[in-house]
Structure 1
Amino acid sequence: MTAITVIGTGNMGQAIAGIAAQAGANVQILARDLEKAGTTAASIKATAGVVGDAISGEIVVLALPYPALAEIASTYGDQLANKVVVDITNPVDFATFDGLVVPADSSAAAELAALVPAAKIVKAFNTNFASTLVAGEFAGEPTVVQLAGDDEAAKKLLADVIVAAGLKVADAGALKRARELEALGYLQMVLAVREQIGWTGGFAVRA
């Protein structure tokens, strides 16, 4: 049985933890606030702890804002070696909401890979709103999670969990495709902020 650690208890963290539990994984929830971690964990029969506690999952989902990635990399360091580390962030400039804050030839996922080079980084979930993950379907079809990464086995391990929960996966290829996924995630957020779509909407991917 796959073991998954989700760091973060926001809407995305709760949604992804729910997917992991639905897939039959052993789930650990870590947050800065133990009470919040406990509340999320209780709803899916997971274990709870605080950031800084030992990681139990072979897959570690960083369900956190982009600025927190460096802190987590520093906190856990070698503990992330050889683990599948999932970056869900969209590195948006929230002060202006006018673009991404990473260089044009880079991505949040690439920066994370540089911080924890022994980890197997996978970009995923950043093009999904939490509501579509919770619902498990969008536009009449199973919700599709787009992902990218350089380690094929790492992507398959994560994909197997997603599929076991009844969702679908679209593999965009190497980790360098994270840049395009982050741009797509940002555009989707812009449309929602401008009220062109709802936060229950987004881009549908169909095979």
Structure 2
Amino acid sequence: MVAATLTVPVAVLAYLVRVQAGPVVDLDQSAVRVGTDLTREQPVVRALLLTWQTAFQARWVNLAVTLLCLWVWRRHGLRTRALWAFVTLMLTWGLNLVVKTGVQRARPVVDEAVAYAPGFSFPSGHAMNTAAAGLVVTALVWPLLGPRARVAVPLVAGLLVVLTGIDRVLLGVHYPSDVVAGVVLGFAVAGGSYLGYVGWSPVHPTDLPARS
């Protein structure tokens, strides 16, 4: 129910993007223009943004999360939780491609572009994948965390999502609406999947930390 509710505003936004609604398009284009002007004037910032773009590509983020899943499974015995995390992230990755193909929004066109990216623009794959990965990782390691870590891990995950969204706009490869849609969809898929997982198996022996 929560996931379905979150997808409603994304569907509305996708429709507005599809029909080129004036206010949305104007805001998006203004933000990209301002962002790329700023990036173009700051070579160091541009270099950092391009590095962030590469590091947070879905393939590298998902590889890191997959290795974490294996570690949580083998070291702590959280088999079903690790499997849930892996499957959820892979489904999110695939869903992004499906939605992009359905909406078919072109990338921003920027004079003196500071970066290039292939494919369609809506929703942002970087933002969607990072949002899903942040929630998946938080849920995955939650049983292993102490009180302080249960505050720190979600905060760090949220910060990475925000910085990734900013990166996409400042590089001019995504509009703000692409980023917003990506983040909401990422949280919706991962959150809905976790609620389904908990409802299916609220207490499972392989979800308990292994005793040393």
When the two structures are superposed, what TM-score results if normalisation uses the length of structure 1? Answer: 0.30
Question: Which one has a larger percent strand, Structure 1 or Structure 2?
Answer: 1
Structure with more contact order per residue of length (Cα contacts < 8 Å, sep ≥ 6): 2
User: In terms of Rg, which structure is larger?
Assistant: 2
